[in-house]
């Protein structure tokens, strides 16, 4: 991840924006982490991942099987035929 000062971002905004299209850019103010600049595509992927994660947790609470439980059942079924 690229790290830039807020002053440098202010002075080279277009260049930093182009860099953020390739990788997240951590922007520091007074030497402290302040914000991260990411591309729209990366941001959408993060939001989508978060939404699917929340849906999976809700489904598990409602009684749907998790990945490990599903794998166990599949393995039992596959081994039952042998």
Q: What is the mean pLDDT of residues 52-61?
A: 85
pLDDT of residue 80: 80
**Do the strands 25-29 and 32-37 form a parallel or antiparallel pair, or are they unpaired?**
antiparallel
**Mean pLDDT for the chain?**
92
**How far from the centroid of its chain's Cα atoms is residue 82's Cα?**
41
Q: Where are the domains of the chain?
A: 2-38, 41-80
Fold of the domain spanning 2-38: YefM-like fold (3.40.1620)
Q: What is the mean pLDDT of residues 37-50?
A: 96
Burial of 8 (0-12, 13-18, 19+ CB in 10 A): middle
Residue of 29 and 66 predicted with greater confidence: 29
Q: Give me the residue label for tokens 């260049």.
A: 15
Burial of 58 (0-12, 13-18, 19+ CB in 10 A): exposed
Q: What is the mean pLDDT of residues 53-64?
A: 84
For the cut 70, the answer to whether the pLDDT of residue 22 exceeds it is: yes
Q: What is the mean pLDDT of residues 46-54?
A: 92
């Amino acid at each position: 991840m690229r790290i830039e000062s807020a002053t440098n971002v202010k002075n080279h905004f277009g260049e930093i924006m182009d860099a953020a299209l390739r990788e997240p850019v951590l922007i520091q103010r007074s030497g402290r982490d302040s914000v991260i600049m990411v591309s729209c595509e990366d941001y959408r992927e993060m939001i989508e991942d978060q939404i699917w994660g929340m849906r999976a947790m809700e489904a598990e609470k409602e009684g749907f099987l998790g990945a490990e439980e599903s794998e166990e059942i599949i393995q039992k079924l596959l081994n039952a035929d042998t």
